[in-house]
Amino acid sequence: MKAAVLRQVRTPLQIEDVQINKPGPHEVLIRTAAAGVCHSDLHFIEGSYPHPLPAVLGHESAGIVEMVGSEVRTVKPGDHVITCLSAYCGHCDQCLTGHLSLCTSPETKRDASDEPRLTVPGGNMNQYLNLSSFAEQMLIHEHACVAIRPDMPLDRAALIGCGVMTGVGAAIHTSSVRPGETVAVIGCGGVGLAAINGAAIAGAGRIIAIDTSAAKDNISKAFGATDFINATETDAVKEVLEMTKGGVHHSFEAIGLSKTAEQAFNMLRRGGTANVIGMIPVGQTITLMGAAFLGEKRIQGSLMGSNRFPVDMPRLVDMYLAGKLKLDEMISRRIKLEDVNSAFEEMKTGAVARSVIVFDA
């Protein structure tokens, strides 16, 4: 199969022929239909986060099941599925207490003594985030995908697999936004727009979008923002505090910078919660004023929207088909696998929300 391979950090992905194995007892072979080009992939390409190389990248995807292992009970051949990088075992303490996205059990991966899922002539190929979806096929654990209704377009379903689940889940699950509360979202890329959409679905009374690109004004409001702040023209923290007369109930940092994480905390009202969704590079720290904690302000991380994806993703599909979840507006362009490097270059400009690789294009 054709796949986009990262062989060395800070170099373009290479389109190569990669061999994929047969499903083990709890594994599923999927024909990839679409894969979103996510900023998380860029972090690994640029070396901000380490990963064994070479590796087939990609983790935001949807497709059709081709083959299942002997013990698989959750999906069957022909099912349309969304994948999720937070594969879960189903019986560790995290899973049994409802925190599926925090499962770290090695059971969802192959043992070192097993044949690898991916290979190339002369060596192994590392699987990325349990998925490796920049490829024509994926071989994954059955608890890394969920079946969805077949009338859902798979190019839009792919977005739910990471960016949308991360943003919407951060608002609804991690921070529990309630009707009438105030929200600020820093960074209006794919995840930030999803957080805005999630806050709107949750009934937030005021949603303030913040970005350094003036072009994000209209699109953020299409996703549910009530206000927009251009952070290049004003002090975003001061502006939020003035607009809300004391700060917001919830803030969401969707960029991955120490500075913006600090801003997210500093724009809170007493008792507010700052949620860091963005991937702050390894080794970076944030600095907060200790006295602020006397006002019961909180700062926390959010991993994949604190999802219970077998339940959440089919519900998000229903929300999209009911006109509540915005996905069409998030896709900036549809591309072929061979165009993946140009998609990452466009991503760096901040001009696109999401490029989606469509494998039948």
- State pLDDT tens for residues 293-324: 989 999 999 999 999 999 999 999 999 999 99
Give the residue numbers spanning the domain of 96.
Answer: 2-162+306-358
Task: Evaluate if residue 261 carries a pLDDT over 70.
Answer: yes
Annotated catalytic residue within 40, 132, 251, 302: 40
pLDDT at 352: 72
Residue of 162, 175, 188, 332 marked active site: 162
Is 167 a domain residue? no
pLDDT value at 39 more than 90: no
The secondary structure of 247-259 as a DSSP string is: -EEEEEE-S--HH
Identify whether 222 is part of a domain. Answer: yes
- pLDDT category at 112 given cuts 50, 70, 90 is confident
83 and 203 assigned to the same domain:
no
Catalytic residue among 26, 39, 59, 250: 59
The total number of structural domains in the chain stands at: 2
Burial class (CB in 10 A: 0-12, 13-18, 19+), 150: exposed
Q: Is residue 168 part of a domain?
A: no
Q: CA 160, CA 150: separation in Å to the nearest integer?
A: 15
Work out the percent of the chain whose per-residue pLDDT is above 90.
91
40 carries an active-site annotation: yes
Q: Does residue 28 sit in the same domain as residue 58?
A: yes
258 φ, ψ to 5°? -60, -45
Q: What is the pTM assigned to this prediction?
A: 0.94
Distance between CA atoms of residues 251 and 245, nearest Å: 15
Instruction: Tokens for 72, please give them.
Output: 């698989």
Six-digit token string for 165: 């689940």
- Identify the CA nearest to 102 among candidates 45, 57, 169: 169
164-222 pLDDT per residue, tens: 999 999 999 999 999 999 999 999 999 999 999 999 999 999 999 999 999 899 999 99
- Give the pLDDT confidence of 154-166 residue by residue, as tens digits: 999 999 999 999 9
Q: Which of 38, 84, 95, 145 is catalytic?
A: 38
How high is the pLDDT of residue 30? Answer: 98
- Determine the pLDDT at residue 150: 97
Confirm whether 162 is a catalytic residue: yes
